[in-house]
Amino acid sequence: MFLSLVIAYLFIDLLILFFGSAKIEAERVLKEQLNLGDQNQVKVRVKNKNSVPIKVKIIDELPYQFQVRDFCKFLILKPNEEKVLSYNLRPVKRGEYLFGSLNIFVGTYLRMAQRRVRYSQDFSAKVYPSVRLMREYELKVFTNSNLNQGLKKVRQIGNAQEFEQIKSYVQGDDFRKINWKATSRKGELMVNQFQDERSQTIYSIVDKSRTMKMPFNNMTLLDHSINSALVISNIALRKDDKVGLMTFSDKLGVHVKADKLGGQLRKLLENLYRQKTRYNDANFEMLYYGVRQNIKGRSLLFLYSNFESMYAMERAMPMLRKISKLHLLVVVFFENTGLIEKSNRKAETIEQIYLQTIAQKSVIEKQTIAAELKKYGINTILTTPEKLNVDTINKYLELKSRGLI
């Protein structure tokens, strides 16, 4: 009798599952563009169109880059009920991410059997430098009225002007600005009117050499620099400046000419998305000739690189000094947070004392590198990847407020 009851329950369960599970709908919802280093929300919508309650086990086939092999979520759905399951993914590498099928395992309260329903949800999403981070810092900068408090504005020397319009001559206008072609066409004196130039030129120069492969919070220093370059470019565009991009390693990479047109930010985003680490030493001599050839006129250059020793800095110093004579150069490089943590940790054994001493020596060497750069008049930002965006934006606003650009 008991066996017959079990078989009857099993038969009922199979009947419900294999003749009713087709009335289940499932769909994955996410954006085609994901943000690098951010928590990106993914939604799975499941609807029970059966007349009985069901238990649902969801297994989503995530891209291999996440290395998640145990993704599993559960839902209980009443008849004709729809639920949306949300979860977050944090990509730490740029590139294309391929999502596979959505597997729904359906069971009833009898728990005698389970059926898998496979939904083809193949989808390709691209991970770009963080647009969310860019918008976040844009909001902070333009809503903080006290951001530049305490900074002294310095009068700019020179007469940099840009064309505004052609107008009729009135008494007192500078006769040297008469536009003779317009005068001949109109039959009256016409003069060119100029206004003080407000737009400065800002370039982000990103080092792609092997030293930028060092990881922090599962992201490389190159990716942190790329996010920061996008953030500072957006802020500069909002400040009516022209922005451009250069990359280099052992040879010159991409060059995007500085501009402030509507599509400039998208052009920068696409070029930053395609950058990859080259496993060679940085060639600063090649960078100098690239700057001389491609960047005309005095500009503000944010150079994202990394110096792990005084020797590496001394090799680059002659070229950095030459660049700083042509442009306003800001060298951005990184503190090693792991070594800082070790240097501050209490040492109890001889081995720990030895490791702490080495770590403290490395931390002091970084500070010495920053002091050496400043000694030659090169603006320097020694920062951690966590504070990179804040420190870079503050330096840009400081230099702009002081009229040094």
pLDDT tens for 32-71 read 999 999 999 999 999 988 777 888 889 999 999 998 888 8
Mean pLDDT across the chain = 85
Kindly state the tokens that stand for 149.
């408090």
Q: Give the range among 19-23, 94-98, 258-262, 325-329 with minimum mean pLDDT.
A: 19-23
Q: Which two tokens stand for residue 316?
A: 């680059």
Report the percent of the chain where pLDDT is more than 90. 48
pLDDT digits (tens, 9 = 90+) for 154-181: 444 444 455 567 888 888 788 788 888 8
- Domains, in order of start, for the chain: 2-128 (2.60.40.10), 131-154+198-401 (3.40.50.410), 161-196 (no CATH)
pLDDT of residue 161: 55
Average pLDDT over residues 343-358: 83
Spell out where 23-142 has E strands.
Answer: 24-29, 33-35, 40-48, 54-60, 73-77, 82-89, 95-99, 102-107, 114-119, 123-128
The whole-model pTM stands at 0.79
Of the pLDDT bands very low, low, confident and very high (cuts 50, 70, 90), residue 360 is: confident
Proportion of the chain above pLDDT 70, given as a percent:
88
pLDDT of res. 150: 42
Lowest-confidence pick of 4-8, 18-22, 254-258, 323-327: 18-22
**Whole-angstrom distance, CA of residue 279 vs CA of residue 207:** 11
Whether the Cβ atoms of residue 357 and residue 365 lie closer than 8 Å to each other: no
What is the rounded CA–CA span in Å between residue 278 and residue 287? 15
Task: Collapse the DSSP code of 90 into the 3-class scheme (helix H, G, I; strand E, B; otherwise coil) and give the result.
Answer: coil
The sign one gets for the Cα dihedral 109, 111, 115, 118 is positive
